[in-house]
Each structure stands twice: as C-alpha cells, then as structure tokens.
Amino acid sequence: MSSDYSPPATPHGGADSGAVLDGNAAAGDFAGILASDPTTVMVRCGSCGATQAFGQLSAYLGGPGTVLRCRRCEAMVARVARTPRGTWLDLSGSSSWLFLPTPGPA
Amino acid sequence: MTDTTSTGGQADGSAEEAPPGGIHWRKATLIGLHPQSWHSRTLALDVPGWTGHLPGQHVDLRLTAADGYSAQRSYSLAEPAASSRVAVTVDLLPHGEVSPYLVESMELGDELDVRGPIGGWFVWEPGDPSIGGGPVLLIAGGSGVVPLVTMLRARKRAGDSTPTMLVYSLRGPRDLMYGPELEELSADLSAPGSAEVRLVYTRKIPYGHPRPASHLAIEDIEPPSAWPEPLAVRVYVCGSSGFVDHATRLLHKAGYPDDRIRTERFGPTGADR
C-alpha cells in the first residue's frame, strides 16, 4: 500500500476517481479508537446485511472525516470525524461488529 | 514540505497513552536509502520501541512542517520484522504532497513520525493454519508489489515451502521494483524459498520477454503446472483501486470465491489532518 494525493482535493468527496480505498487505509484512524486491530473485524451492513471484513469496506478519505461504505450496496457503514470538540464515531449504518481472536503481535 | 520537526503526535488527538501494543506515533530516524526503480526508493527507518510486525502490514508516516502543518500517508512495510528497523518503499507521485519529499529530498538522519504496525487482514504469516499447505497466489499492480515481496521474504526466511506464485503487473522495464531479487527467487524452482514469478508488462516489454504488452488477463493467473490443485487457497491482491477491481473480476471468472481473496487498495488520498 502506498498513498499520496494530488491537490486540490475534491470537496465533499466529489468525482475524484481512484480515491476510493479500503478499510485497510482507514485502520490507523480506527486503531486509535478501538482496542484492537480493526481490519479483521467482521462488520455487518445495516442496509443489505452483507458481512465483510473491515479491511474490505470501501474507504473514502480526505473529506470531512473518514467514511466507510459497504462494498456490496454502498450504504454508509461507519464514519469517524475529528473535530475541535472531539472525535465523532458513527456506527449507525452497521448492525454488528464481530471481533475475532487474532494471533500475532499487532 | 522540507522540514520535519516532529510534534510528538498531538496533532490528531490519537491516544498517546495507548495501551502496550497499541498504536501511537513514534519518532523515527532515516538510516538507509536504496533506489528501487526510476521513480521509487526504499527508506529504512530506525524506530526505537518498535515491537515487530507481520508481513503485509503497513505504517502511517507523518511529516510536520516548521509551521505546524502536517500530512500523513500509509505505506506498506517493505521488510519482515527485524529489531527496531522499519522499511518502506515509496513510489513517486508527481503531484503528491508527501512522496516527492520521501523519494527525492529526505536525507539520512532526518526524522519523521511513524504509527503502526497497522492491519491484520492483509497479512500472510508463514505457517498460518488457514492457509495450510497452500498454494498461495500473489497479484501485484505497480508498487502493490511491496507488501507481497515482504510476504515472500518472510516465507523464505521461515523456510516455508508453500507453493506460491507472484503475478506482477507493471507498465514497463523501468518500473520494475525488486528486479534482481525476483529473478533470484524464481531462477531455480527447486530451491528452498523459491517462487514462480510472472511479469505482466502492460505497455512496454523488455527485449526478449515472451509475453506481449497487454493488461492482466485470465491466462496470467492460471496456476503453474506444478501446483497440486487448480485454485490457490488464498489470493492476495494489492494495487490501485482500478487494478484490484480488475484482478478481482478475473479471479471470480477463474472460479475463486470471495472468501479466498484478500485485497488492499492504494491510491491518491487526502487523508490530512
């Protein structure tokens, strides 16, 4: 994985083709909030019911906050936004998060 | 951005009192540089307190300018874990904000902030029971080869003989990363740690290359004759979002179910804070 970006950034997540990444790219952000590695968590979409690993969700970075969408139906599953008031975590688009036990030092 | 005054990591409000093993920003010093292709280089960093990582994981790097402006980007770890040494291979994006500094300007002794290791999904640890005896298929688009080479290195170091093939899609000869290493790895397929390597040039081929230049096709991911079974038990795909989508479609066509495919996409992001 490598990432860099070309200004100007598109406002409001506009048609900036190729800017859709995956949950791996948002993992650093969420790792500061969750106690364990987020990428292996199985997330169930609240809209279509599809279950996918956090690492496979579509990630939209660079807007106001980070938005994660279901790869199947594109509904918003989770988002995190850092503001002067604090960090907002919105999981309303997901119906469950399954944390699997993972070996390894991560 | 030419100045990297570390700010100790208060910029993004992440928990600095992270639990042991948790993720927080650490200061890192550049201790090694190695050109990799015409537009990429490998940077080795010393990160005091680093507790190791798994093949396929990545780190976030953060640069902070003298005026306090900071930018962070994600890069795959380019070497298996070894003490406090952390390496990344960075591809230059001409209009990027961070990669030009990392590829062209940063000098030995310079500092930046590192956070990680991150991610347990796009990981292949030698001996992983869910992979068992393999085979394993690695598919790289451009600099997506970096985490896959790290996996191959870890496999070789562990003496793991899981049948493995790397399919590496790249534009032309001057874009090749890890050329000598991949040649050595695939020269003698009976040697321990060796792997089949297929180079898929999309625009320009080196003299004598048997495959004409064209995009990744279903033939390119057909199993080598030596594989005990037609489908790999696990496929790792890393590249740009478009490449990953294309490769995933080919894999589906070849009969791979989703639960055997693990992907990691990279691309231009504006993940600045």
> Does residue B16 belong to any structural domain of this protein?
no
Which of B98, B118, B138 is the C-terminal boundary of a domain?
A: B118
Do B137 and B261 sit in the same domain of this protein?
A: yes
Sheet holding B196-201, edge to edge: A3-4, B261-268, B234-240, B136-141, B164-170, B196-201
The beta strand positions in B93-233, using DSSP E, are 111-118, 136-141, 164-170, 196-201
A1: nearest CB among B15, B72, B147: B147
Structural domain for B76, as ranges: 25-118
Q: Which residues of B touch A104 (CB under 8 A)?
A: 54, 120, 123, 125
Cite the DSSP H helix spans in chain B. Answer: 99-100, 145-157, 179-187, 241-253
* Distance of residue B146 Cα from the nearest chain A Cα, in angstroms: 7
**Does A4 contact B57 at a Cβ distance shorter than 8 Å?**
no
Do B247 and B149 sit in the same domain of this protein?
A: yes
> Does residue B96 belong to any structural domain of this protein?
yes
Do B91 and B205 sit in the same domain of this protein?
A: no
Contact A47, A70 (CB under 8 A): yes
> Mind listing the pLDDT tens digit for each residue in A35-54?
888 999 999 999 999 999 99
Q: Residue B34 is part of a domain; what is its CATH number?
A: 2.40.30.10
> Does residue B53 belong to any structural domain of this protein?
yes
Least Cα distance to B257 among B230, B229, B220, B231 occurs for: B231
**Does A25 contact B91 at a Cβ distance shorter than 8 Å?**
no
- Asked if residue B147 has a cis previous peptide bond (ω within 30° of 0), the answer is no
H/E run at residue B89: strand B85-91
Percent of chain B with pLDDT over 70: 90
**Does A55 contact B121 at a Cβ distance shorter than 8 Å?**
yes
Q: DSSP 3-state assignment of A30?
A: helix
**Does B264 contact A1 at a Cβ distance shorter than 8 Å?**
yes
CB–CB contacts below 8 A, A to B: 171
Do B134 and B261 sit in the same domain of this protein?
A: yes
Do B98 and B43 sit in the same domain of this protein?
A: yes
Mean pLDDT of chain A: 80
**Does A1 contact B58 at a Cβ distance shorter than 8 Å?**
yes
Q: What pTM value is reported for the model?
A: 0.86
Do B145 and B244 sit in the same domain of this protein?
A: yes
* Residue labelled with tokens 């939209």: A60
Amino acid identity for residue B10 in this structure: Q
Give the count of domains, chain B.
2
Q: Is the pLDDT of residue B3 over 90?
A: no
A82: nearest CB among B12, B22, B116: B12
Chain A, nearest residue to B265 by Cα: A21
H/E run at residue A25: helix A23-31
* Distance of residue B40 Cα from the nearest chain A Cα, in angstroms: 11
Which of B90, B118, B146 is the C-terminal boundary of a domain?
A: B118
Q: DSSP 3-state assignment of B182?
A: helix
> Does residue B257 belong to any structural domain of this protein?
yes
Q: Is the pLDDT of residue A28 over 90?
A: no
DSSP class of residue B212? P
Percent of chain A with pLDDT over 90: 50
User: End-to-end CA distance of chain B, in Å?
Assistant: 15
* Distance of residue A7 Cα from the nearest chain B Cα, in angstroms: 7
Q: Please enumerate residues of A whose Cβ is less than 8 A from a Cβ of B.
A: 1-7, 9, 16, 18-25, 27-29, 31-32, 35, 37, 39-40, 53-56, 61-63, 66, 82, 86-87, 102-106
- Spatial CB neighbours of B154, under 8 Å, sequence gap ≥ 6: B55, B80, B124, B125, B126
* Distance of residue B95 Cα from the nearest chain A Cα, in angstroms: 5
B23: nearest CB among A28, A40, A55: A28
**Does A22 contact B264 at a Cβ distance shorter than 8 Å?**
yes
Which of B83, B118, B153 is the C-terminal boundary of a domain?
A: B118
d(CA B8, CA A76): 33
> Does residue B5 belong to any structural domain of this protein?
no
* Distance of residue A14 Cα from the nearest chain B Cα, in angstroms: 12
DSSP class of residue A39? T
Q: Beta B136-141 vs B40-46: how paired, if at all?
A: unpaired
Q: Which residues of A touch B74 (CB under 8 A)?
A: 1-3, 24-25, 28
* A14-18, A90-94, B81-85: least confidently modelled range: A14-18
Do B137 and B245 sit in the same domain of this protein?
A: yes
Q: Which residues of A touch B21 (CB under 8 A)?
A: 105-106
Sheet holding A42-45, edge to edge: A51-53, A42-45, A94-98
Do B108 and B184 sit in the same domain of this protein?
A: no
> Mind listing the pLDDT tens digit for each residue in B227-253?
989 999 999 999 999 999 999 999 999
Residue A37, pLDDT score: 87
Residue A75, pLDDT score: 96
Q: Which two tokens stand for residue B128?
A: 């992983």
pLDDT tier, A13 (very low <50, low <70, confident <90, very high otherwise) = very low
Residue B11, pLDDT score: 39
Chain B, nearest residue to A21 by Cα: B265
Mean pLDDT of chain B: 88
